[in-house]
Amino acid sequence: MKDKRNQNCAPILDALQDMRKGRLVPFDVPGHKRGRGNPELTAFLGQQCIEVDVNSMKPLDNLAHPISIIREAERLMADAFGAEDAFLMVGGTTSSVQAMIMSVAKPGEKIIVPRNVHRSVMAAMVLCGAIPVYVNPECDERLGIALGMQLSSIQKAIAKHRDAKAIFVNNPTYYGICSNLKAIVDLAHKAGMKCIVDEAHGTHFYFNDNLPISAMAAGADMAAVSMHKSGGSLTQSSVLLVGKGMQAGYVRQIINLTQTTSASYLLLSSLDISRRNLALRGKASFDKVIRLAEYAREEINEIGNYYAYSSELKNGDSIFDFDRTKLSVYTLDIGLAGIEVYDKLRDEYNIQIEFGDLGNILAYISIGDREREIERLVGALAEIRRRFKKSKVGLMQQEYLEPIVAMTPQQAFYSNKKSLPLQKTEGFICSEFVMCYPPGIPILAPGERITKEILAYIQYAKEKGCNMTGPEDAKIENLNVII
């Protein structure tokens, strides 16, 4: 086994601090020149911050072709996550997901994906021309959420599409549901396919033994990890991990196709510092996160009518494991949709949670949380029940609408189309995305046929105040369809 690098190091941080001390005279971009050229921005962000908003230069390496400090930081990252290699990403986990897909599939090649994938996956398919083979995720009837991938469905998809290049797994889901990742990786490898994992919500899996298995530990070929979610780095920073089965050089080329050539050192240093923090203190930090989430769950379930779910949902397959740091709460039994509870928490109680869908809310618990904020959340939920509880009648359950794929996402996206009023689109092939965001699971993707059920669902979600995104017409009164 190769020697592990010293996780106390933070090479990007050190280099930026040296640069600051060195009082280098800038005749390069950015033009604000350490903030002097934009005093209002400097006053807003602070001198400390703006001083390190600098461009690539010899002592600071270059993200496109890293050879010194960035490369060293990537190696430290790979070690910390138990990966063969790692890439620092500055275009969000969206960019990591897209790099994964483009690294495993060429135009016209198939990838097996669960329907409940992030929009970034569909976007990657539009970009590279890959063909999605959907695996229907099982849906929990009571909670109305999509679960993990069932092994039997994957086996069927493999048998039917032996030419597929990879299996894409979303693990954990937004709600904390985990699939049997190890078994899926084995199925993929036996069929000669890669297994790539959208692990946007699973950074913490790498740093605490009491959490579900991580993609790298399960032997996956690649994983997209949102360091900025549970890892604590700045928004838009992310990490792409690769395992033994990948050509790291090729992955780098793919990344460079779409990656900025002016990578932000604020983002890069935040990845470096967060990695060090997680490697050194992650275990204790996530022990605390688990404790806070478990406490909140107990207290919320004590209130009555709310259901904060956890490991008891495990069924050995589509809910193989549960991420106990996730605080997902089913709200329909108080007579309120998740989105209504979400709105009340923010508008009345000044508490912003991660999202609300039709039946659930998700409060994100992280390394930044303290007992006192948990008390506020629980106290507010108790009050919402006391003040607004009503009978459950009249609420529609969220349901999984099976897509009818009529053409590839890329063909559909670039076909000739016209805009039709929503109610007149039944039977047409949609050329754009429609999704309820968050969590960003497509109701329609380019190339899919529009049905009566889908139209009814869009109408209902709109009425419930869900944030609908995707279509060119932001109000979603019209949809683009293929002619």
Partner 1 sequence: MEFWYSEKHTNDIKFSIRVERQLYSGKSEYQKIDVFESKEVGRFLVLDEFLMLTEKDEFIYHEMISHVAMAVHPHIKKVLVIGGGDGGVVRELIQYDSIEHIDLVEIDSKVIEVCMEFFPTITQSLQERRVKVYHKDGLRFVRGCQNEYDLIIVDSTDPFGPGEGLFTLEFYGNCYKALKEDGILVNQHESPFYTEDALACQKAHKKIYATFPICKIYQAHIPTYPSGHWLFGFASKKYHPLRDLQEERWNKQKIKCKYYTTTLHKGAFYLPAYVEELLKNVE
Q: Which is nearer to partner 1, 86 or 300 (CB)?
A: 300
User: Would you say the C-alpha torsion 462, 467, 473, 475 has a positive or negative sign?
Assistant: positive
Which segment (219-227, 383-391, 422-430, 449-457) binds partner 1 by CB under 8 A?
A: 383-391
Cβ atoms of 182 and 219 closer than 8 Å: yes
In whole angstroms, how far apart are CA 207 and each of 108, 210, 276?
Answer: 38, 9, 11
Is residue 375 at the binding interface for partner 1, with CB under 8 A as the rule? yes
Least distance to partner 1, CB of residue 416, Å: 53
How many Cα neighbours within 13 Å face the side chain of 483? 7
Each residue 271-310 as x (binds partner 1 by CB under 8 A) or -, in order, gives ----------------------------x-----------
In whole angstroms, how far apart are CA 11 and each of 74, 214, 316?
Answer: 10, 26, 42
Contact set for partner 1, span 330-369 (CB under 8 A): 348-350
Q: Which is nearer to partner 1, 37 or 46 (CB)?
A: 46
Is residue 380 at the binding interface for partner 1, with CB under 8 A as the rule? yes
Q: Which is nearer to partner 1, 72 or 299 (CB)?
A: 299
Least distance to partner 1, CB of residue 351, Å: 8
Is residue 217 at the binding interface for partner 1, with CB under 8 A as the rule? no
Which residues neighbour 408 within 8 Å (Cβ) at sequence distance 6 or greater?
Answer: 125, 129, 130, 131, 132, 447
Out of 41, 382, 396, 420, the only residue in the binding site for partner 1 (CB under 8 A) is: 382
Which residues neighbour 372 within 8 Å (Cβ) at sequence distance 6 or greater?
Answer: none
User: Would you say the C-alpha torsion 255, 111, 93, 469 has a positive or negative sign?
Assistant: positive
Which segment (215-223, 238-246, 326-334, 380-388) binds partner 1 by CB under 8 A?
A: 380-388
Query: What are the beta bridge partners of residue 139?
Result: 146
SS3 category, 199:
strand
Out of 2, 23, 190, 387, the only residue in the binding site for partner 1 (CB under 8 A) is: 387
Out of 32, 71, 142, 376, the only residue in the binding site for partner 1 (CB under 8 A) is: 376
Which helix (H) or strand (E) covers residue 238, if one does? Answer: strand 238-242
Give the binding site for partner 1 (CB under 8 A): 299, 348-350, 371-372, 375-376, 378-380, 382-383, 386-387
